[in-house]
């Protein structure tokens, strides 16, 4: 039986099996992913910053 990638509990529904998370863990995962993407810096942003502060 497949297990949740976050908490390790057995997955029971077809949707959970498809995504690899139980419903509660999927919500937590999505929230954590959204937070990570908000603070993620791209290489283009870093290069633009370095160009602005170039001395």
Domain extent at residue 21: 14-52
pLDDT of the residue at 55: 63
Please report whether residue 35 resides in a domain.
yes
The whole model's pTM is what? 0.69
Asked if residue 20 belongs to a domain, the reply is yes
Residue 48 forms part of a structural domain: yes
Residue 36 domain-assigned (yes or no): yes
Residue 32 located in a structural domain: yes
Residue 1: the pLDDT is 84
Please give the tally of structural domains in the chain: 1
Is the residue at 30 inside a domain? yes
Tell whether 7 is covered by a domain: no
The answer as to whether 27 is a domain residue is yes
* Each residue's pLDDT expressed in tens, for the chain with a length of 55 residues: 899 999 999 999 999 999 999 999 999 999 999 999 999 999 999 999 999 998 6
Structural contact between residues 13 and 20, judged by C-beta atoms closer than 8 angstroms:
no
Residues composing the chain:
55
Three-class DSSP labels, 5-43: CCCCCECCCHHHHHHCCCHHHHHHHHHHHHHHHHHCCCH
């Amino acid at each position: 039986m497949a297990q949740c990638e976050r908490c390790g509990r057995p997955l029971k529904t077809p949707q959970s099996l498809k995504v690899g998370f139980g419903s509660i863990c999927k919500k937590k995962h999505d929230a954590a992913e959204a937070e990570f993407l908000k603070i993620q810096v791209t290489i283009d942003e870093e290069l633009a910053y370095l160009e602005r502060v170039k001395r």
